[in-house]
Amino acid sequence: MNAFTTADVYKNQQVLTAPPEQLTLMLYNGAIRFINECIHAINEGKVEKAHNANIRTQQIISELMTTLDMQYDISKNLMALYDYIQYRLQMGNVKKDVAQMEEAKGLVTELRDTWLQAMKLARKERGADASDQAYARQRHG
């Protein structure tokens, strides 16, 4: 098995075994990576490479949109934000405009950073819950 195939297998395994919150983080990170690739390609005049990276980013944002549970207000707000990001990506792709790509990158980065904070808070709360349960078992066990 060559290194490329090994890396693919590892990445696939990561995706298949990751909890949902980790998958969302992976999507945000992937979107940022492809936006950076797109910006770099635009700056180098590599139109096809820029287009391909942009399309990959749009696909990731579309995936994030499909995961929203629209019964919650936060999901409706996120949908509007994702829609705006998609618009910026599309305009950046058509015009090969770095400024629009940078705006999309800033928004996705902010979402990713907020998601990371939420993950940390949830982990902290789960840790506190686990500690409380362990304490209760010790007292009653």
Virtual CA dihedral for 115, 119, 121, 122, nearest 10 degrees? 130
Expressed in angstroms, the distance from the first to the final Cα of the chain is 52
> Please, are residues 75 and 69 in contact by the beta-carbon 8 Å criterion?
yes
User: For the chain, which residues make up each domain, given as ranges?
Assistant: 18-116
Burial class for 125, CB neighbours closer than 10 Å (0-12, 13-18, 19+)? exposed
| Whether 52 contacts 77, CB under 8 Å | no
pLDDT at residue 66 greater than cutoff 80: yes
Give the C-alpha separation, 5 to 1, whole Å. Answer: 6
Q: Are 73 and 82 in contact (CB under 8 A)?
A: no
Q: Name the residue with tokens 């405009």.
A: 97
CATH number for the segment(s) 18-116 = 1.20.120.340
Between CA 123 and CA 25 the distance in angstroms is 14
pTM of the model: 0.81
Note the pLDDT tens digit of each residue in 30-49: 999 999 999 999 999 999 99
Across the range 109-137, mean pLDDT stands at: 81
Nearest to 43 by CA among 85, 92, 104, 109: 92
Q: Is the pLDDT of residue 136 over 70?
A: no
